[in-house]
Structure 1
């Protein structure tokens, strides 16, 4: 007699694969923000310990574009992404669900060579600018340009990842780049000037980041998603305590390889509890909708959509009791 095989029974979940853009300049990995706190305190692992489910953290130097490719190949269940990469993936047909905010209004910087005399985006017209295409930095740069009546067509934009862009700038192979801690680290060594940030543009170009999940995974494991969001909330509460700010900066410095003094310069006057809110509140969703519209206008995506069609409804309900 043949053995009876049960049909329709899902395989028990043994592992969750989480993708993160790797922002580190050393052998250890850093995603910055809530990612480093969640991972360091093993909050996801603790939430899943009773079920014996492992958490596999996968860090991608190729950032958002590489993570979208991994989603397309079925290699990722969840991912922390900047706004543009998440938007591009959804627009290109990836079945992702928007699960939470992870950062908002993160400032970026314009880095130029000392002595260049460039103090504004307008003064950069016609020059070579290194931008990591397909990432939040590109959308940030485009938003900053639009605020000044400019577009990428006004510049000679060269696609370079963050490390390559900073190297090219120091080597005087490009005239400017748009980035974050990679530029403040060079400024501390006197290698670049930072004439402006998104703060100087009234927030135009500030970055939002999100947690998204593969649609099939989210639908099949609603309890797991809820536990992960709850674990993430613990990290949010931890960084919201100003008493933990120095510990947070030291943690990210250790994992990323950037000196703590650089991160202190970046975050010194920032309220981490405001930067790293996870709520999918109306202001955050409006900003994402604006980013989707801008990405469409700048032809970074072909098919615009609304966040209302992207938000995972049960995740939204769990965050807005």
Structure 2
């Protein structure tokens, strides 16, 4: 299928543009990826992906036009998703900050369309008796983490808060489930991860001495919806509808009345106990956590992450976040779904000041 550049689209009248875009969408398959965070037999890409996937929201939205939606969940998370995207095997991905940053910095021609999650707390999980109570105590210890993921960048962030670098610890590259197994078997000393660590803590297998809340938000993660520029150019109407459906799912997640329902859904998909997922959201303002807005808080954290990734040589050089973001589809989607007032722009959030996130 021939792909058309942005200049081609701009030269067409609106009616011709819509007709051509519709023709381009015939027999289209939208290939969507998300990391598989499940510890069981089902797949789980996090609350947003789980709502979309289990309720077939995207499939139903595109069915009338005979557009197929394919979901792909990767145990290898961001690194494998970037590889598949570079091989033109994917069009869209729900990704954490570091994976999407690495992809863009490595030459993947992607655009960031909307935020999909923010201020996702991280926690320090350590084996009992390790003597690790502070970030400084990690020096020389074996720390399990999946390289190239949001957890990896979060670890670097918390290490830097204590004046340490990645080279000061012994990083053991393990996927999410392998980290849990290694901690339980005392094959590593520690890990930095989201609330899934509480599944081990509740069994008495690890201790959690601190988290992002005690570190002024350091080590917290965020995610976004990225799309290839080729897909955006060739299928602008499909991309627009995609954003609108995702937006409505985020609106459902943002409602306090749906807190328990989303916990139950994520528990069923991920095989983690509901109490663990409840801990992940404890005290969180859902309308902030699931805000899609590309506001100063979200973009400020992203700019900080790009600089941190470059400074620690996870990417060769930083890039301009503003040139990566494509806000037009989100702005249009907010109007079309009548959700323009559903979320308020944020400059900071509890433990993160504007100055900290913008630096």
Answer whether TM exceeds 0.5 for this pair.
yes
Aligned equivalent of 1:108, options 99, 122, 140: 122
User: 1:228 is matched with which residue?
Assistant: 242
Alpha-carbon contact 2:254-2:289 (below 8 Å) kept:
no
User: Which deviates further from its counterpart, 154-163 or 190-199?
Assistant: 154-163
**Offset at residue 272 of structure 1 (A):** 2.0
1:178 corresponds in structure 2 to 192
Query: Do the aligned residues in 1 keep the contact of 2:247 with 2:333 (CA within 8 Å)?
Result: no
Q: Which residue of 2 aligns with 1:44?
A: 58
Tell me, yes or no, if structure 1 residue 265 matches structure 2 residue 282.
no
Partner in structure 2 of residue 147 of structure 1 = 161
**CA drift at 1:260:** 0.8
CA contact (8 A) 2:121 2:195 kept: no
Shift of 1:11: 6.9
Q: Which structure ranks higher in relative contact order (CA pairs < 8 Å, sequence separation ≥ 6)? A: 1
**TM-score, scaled to structure 1:** 0.94
User: May I ask how many residue pairs the two structures share in their alignment?
Assistant: 313
CA distance in 1, matches of 2:137, 2:333: 44
Which whole-Å CA distance do the structure 1 matches of 2:174 and 2:25 have between them? Answer: 42
CA distance in 1 between partners of 2:42 and 2:169 (Å)? 35
Q: Which runs of 5+ in 1 are unaligned?
A: 1-8
1:292 and 2:306 are equivalent in the alignment: yes
Q: Deviations over 1:179-223 (max 9, x none)?
A: 123311000000000011111101011101011001100111111
SS in 1 for 2:188: coil
Q: Which runs of 5+ in 2 are unaligned?
A: 1-22, 336-359
Deviation above 6 Å: which 4+ runs of structure 1? none
Within a 5 Å distance, the mapping from 1:162-311 to structure 2 comes to: 162-311=176-325
Equivalent of residue 104 in structure 2, options 86, 90, 99: 90
Q: How many angstroms does 1:112 deviate by?
A: 0.4
RMSD after superposition: 1.5
Deviation at 1:316, TM superposition (A): 4.8
Taking the aligned partners of 2:305 and 2:52, their CA distance within structure 1 comes to 27
2:326 corresponds in structure 1 to 312
User: 1:57 deviation in Å?
Assistant: 0.7
* CA offsets 1:79-101 (integer angstroms, 9 cap, x no match): 00000000000000011111111
